[in-house]
Amino acid sequence: MPEGDTIFRAARTLNRALAGSVVTQFETVLAKLSRVEIDEGICGRTVERVVARGKWLLVHFSGGQILLTHMLMSGSWHIYRPGESWRLPRSSMRVMLATASIEAVAFNVQIAEFHTEESLRRRAGFAGLGPSLLGEDFVPEDAANRVLTIPELEVGEALLKQSVVAGIGNVFKSEICFACGVHPFRKVGSLTRREAIDLMSTAQRFLRANVRYGGMRRTTFRGNPSERLWVYKRMGESCRRCGAAIQSAKQGLDTRITFWCPQCQPLRILGAWKSTVA
């Protein structure tokens, strides 16, 4: 699933390509979107801006219409010049909007809905989003306070909870915990406020860096592409810091796989510390 940095880059690219331009063509295979085009008309509207909020992407049109999309596991937005061949088959197209100079195509997007500002405030899964890690107003100390309000959750689960902070996905979850030396299966209630702030500051730093550099996601910031991540998908391989074997286990109700180093991230239980092997 694309994480917050990927969606932010997509929104930024779409905004540069579309903002200020008039929609000359709108196509969709989704019946509810087609109904809005017929009843309200998207063609002829101006794209005002394209923005990201956590893992959601929003296209704002003149007249108050907002196209809300979520990529889930397989969705993506592409931009093309008129007449340019698409890199994916037309059968994968869910939404296409064109201006005089650009075609923006959403492929395999699992969620695509038209909203107004009012309906967005009621949209389940979006209305309750926490602060975006890539927002200009994101404050790690405030986000840490939000994390600490759910002491019963494991840290790895808490980082994925979009109602707490928006933008962290499964890759960053494991990488953030490693960078902070926090075992992902610790309870949030065992964190100090300093640790919670460190987790949020690291999350912000990782996402901002990956927006800036683009390309393959990285957290080690090493020059060798084969060493770009600390622990994610490295089960059984040697830790890049201490040499211990990286461990993994399913976590949370969604059973997402979490990775960690048992030496660099000792598990704290009832005030004691111990290394773990799953």
Residue 13, classed as helix, strand or coil, is: helix
- Locate 164 and state its tokens: 């707490």
Terminal CA-to-CA distance of the chain, rounded, Å? 25
Establish whether 233 is a catalytic residue. no
User: For residue 43, what are the contacts with CB-CB under 8 A and spacing of at least 6?
Assistant: 23, 24, 25, 26, 37
Establish whether 55 is a catalytic residue. yes
User: For residue 91, what are the contacts with CB-CB under 8 A and spacing of at least 6?
Assistant: none
In angstroms, the Cα distances linking 110 to 30, 38, 93, 254 are 10, 22, 11, 18
Given the residues 48, 55, 175, 262, the one annotated as active site: 55
Question: Nearest Cα to 148, choosing from 102, 195, 106?
Answer: 195
Burial 152-186, CB ≥16 within 10 A → b, else e: ebbbbbbbbbbebbbbbbbbbbbbbbbbbebbbbb
In angstroms, the Cα distances linking 30 to 33, 35, 114 are 6, 9, 11
Please give the helix or strand (H or E) that residue 68 lies within, else none. Answer: strand 66-70
Given the residues 2, 131, 140, 262, the one annotated as active site: 2
Give the chain's length: 278
176 residue type, one letter:
I
Establish whether 184 is a catalytic residue. no
Residues noted as catalytic: 2-3, 55
